[in-house]
Structure 1
């Protein structure tokens, strides 16, 4: 499971957030669709190479009516056809990015506290939605869940609503922009939720002020079947903590390992970087991001059911 619910605050928690948690409370999480206890795993970047996740305890099962285990079936189906409709979507999906910095704290002695009313209300709401088979979106704090939904539901992108403060667009198809393989030019609107494959042949540039990656995007020459120049992403991390910096480096490394492993079965799998960023004012091939919530890296085989237009 990529997401669980904090049993004290009721908030949804991405597994990758555990990388930034000083002390991980193994008893703090339940399934987001039922009250079954789940446990964090693979969360220590000093020991674990793969990214974190949540798992059921030995012999445990989800409560009756919880359809979390059935989501993989829906995701596989979504690769072939649109699964949403006018009445909603058949599984939970993120529809809004919140920029709130609030992080409710667990109470003292939290291990002995039962599920709080906020958690129970969220679980009951999820159960009611599951019974109806329709969901209408929820709020998230980083772009990672948005990117997973973009990958998993390609034929629903034009219909799924999405809101990101300061970024134009009202659907997944409008808000996500693939950096094109053509000579970089200045866009009319320099700010989007961009994405592009990472290029591993060029080593990243690392300094105290920024971390710069080379992207597999830029001026492609069909005659030589090579890039004449490549786009770059500069992560301006001068205001980040050491833990935030290390978490990003670990996520990029994990995505690379996942891409290498999955590419043995599917050569189209790549490590993709997603970021809400801006185009440089002087260099159209350079992009900037400065907020840790606005960047993630995932291994995926990307599908393009609709024509991908260059950003405006």
Structure 2
């Protein structure tokens, strides 16, 4: 299986995240549909040849009526083709996001501790919420990573409905915006004048922390031809100020940034960073800032 709910992090974790999450062996995972225990496998990048996945214990099977494995096949198909039909999207997905306002203790540096009402409904809890066709209802989440995963994992279905607190728009396509390079002789490109979920791929070279902040260079920027090669002369960048971050959150962020970049270096895959924020349209058009440390996520993808 390609995903499981982590009880400690209180959210669904994709298999590729096992490369990034610290202390995987200390975490407890379960099927998001029927609740049985799932074991993380093949997550040691330098040791395992197979990509990460989740499996049941020997002799243990998913509960009757659980279609988690069927949904895994749907997600795999969704990477390459559109799944939405006249009957809607084939599986339940988060169509509402709301950030928790109350102070919550961090666990493993993750602040998302979704309540049961904001988590994905399981087959038992959602029996009376299924439609006439038996499909479970869409649901609200407090996990920013879940929203980012949906956008990248189903690139042909970004017109699905999404309500995101604090951002105008009614679909995933409305609420996300890719940071793009300048074109031709443009000195800069205004693209972040409204609060959105902005994202861009990351170059292989890491940016370094300096004086309690980091300026993360993005692959988008002002590209020129120099000595016969394309060079990003002026990259767009995300400025992250750590001055008010808990030390644990800062360490986790920098660790995730490093691990995500290392995973794609030398491959044909890309690493992206997604965040809620905007562009500096007064002092430096190449500068982006985020509004909340809980609204930044890294993602490995094939094509944005």
Tell me what 1:283 maps to.
Answer: 284
Distance 1:12 1:124, change over 3 A: farther
Distance 1:296 1:12, change over 3 A: closer
Contact 1:90 1:135 (C-alpha < 8 Å) held by counterparts: no
Kindly indicate whether residue 302 of structure 2 is the aligned counterpart of residue 297 of structure 1: no
Cα RMSD for the two superposed structures: 4.1
1:247 to 249, 252, 256: 252
Give 1:197 deviation, angstroms: 0.9
Kindly indicate whether residue 164 of structure 2 is the aligned counterpart of residue 161 of structure 1: no
Contact 2:118 2:142 (C-alpha < 8 Å) held by counterparts: no
Q: Give, in whole Å, the separation in 2 of the partners of 1:144 and 1:58.
A: 30
Distance 1:149 1:13, change over 3 A: closer
Give 1:131 deviation, angstroms: 9.8
Could you report, residue by residue, the CA deviation over 1:256-285 in whole angstroms, capped at 9, with x for unpaired residues? 233237x2xxx2x11111111121231110
* Alignment of structure 1 residues 1-312 onto 2, 5 Å: 1-4=2-5, 6=7, 12-14=11-13, 26=28, 29-39=29-39, 55-101=55-101, 122-126=122-126, 129=130, 132=133, 134-158=135-159, 160-182=160-182, 183-187=187-191, 189-201=193-205, 203-221=206-224, 225-260=230-265, 263=267, 267=268, 269-280=269-280, 281-303=282-304
Give 1:122 deviation, angstroms: 4.1
Give 1:214 deviation, angstroms: 0.6
Contact 2:204 2:265 (C-alpha < 8 Å) held by counterparts: no
Give 1:38 deviation, angstroms: 3.0
User: Higher RCO, 1 or 2 (CA under 8 Å, sep at least 6)?
Assistant: 1
Contact 2:34 2:122 (C-alpha < 8 Å) held by counterparts: no
Distance 1:34 1:234, change over 3 A: same
Q: Give, in whole Å, the separation in 2 of the partners of 1:98 and 1:60.
A: 36
Could you report, residue by residue, the CA deviation over 1:84-104 in whole angstroms, capped at 9, with x for unpaired residues? 234432123222221114589
> Alignment partner of 1:244: what SS?
helix
Q: Could you list the runs of 4 or more consecutive aligned residues of structure 1 that deviate by over 6 angstroms after TM superposition?
A: 15-18, 40-44, 116-121
Q: Give, in whole Å, the separation in 2 of the partners of 1:69 and 1:118.
A: 23
Give 1:152 deviation, angstroms: 1.6
Contact 2:273 2:297 (C-alpha < 8 Å) held by counterparts: yes
- The alignment covers a number of residue pairs equal to 279
Could you report, residue by residue, the CA deviation over 1:103-130 in whole angstroms, capped at 9, with x for unpaired residues? 899xxxxxxxxxx999997441456759
Greater CA drift, 208-217 or 84-93: 84-93
Distance 1:54 1:72, change over 3 A: closer
Contact 1:255 1:271 (C-alpha < 8 Å) held by counterparts: yes
Greater CA drift, 211-220 or 65-74: 65-74
Give 1:237 deviation, angstroms: 2.2
> Alignment partner of 2:164: what SS?
coil
Name the TM-score, length of structure 2 as normaliser: 0.74
- Gapped regions of structure 1 (runs ≥ 5): 45-50, 106-115, 304-312
Tell me what 2:108 maps to.
Answer: none
Q: Give, in whole Å, the separation in 2 of the partners of 1:252 and 1:71.
A: 29
> Alignment partner of 2:200: what SS?
strand
Give 1:199 deviation, angstroms: 1.4
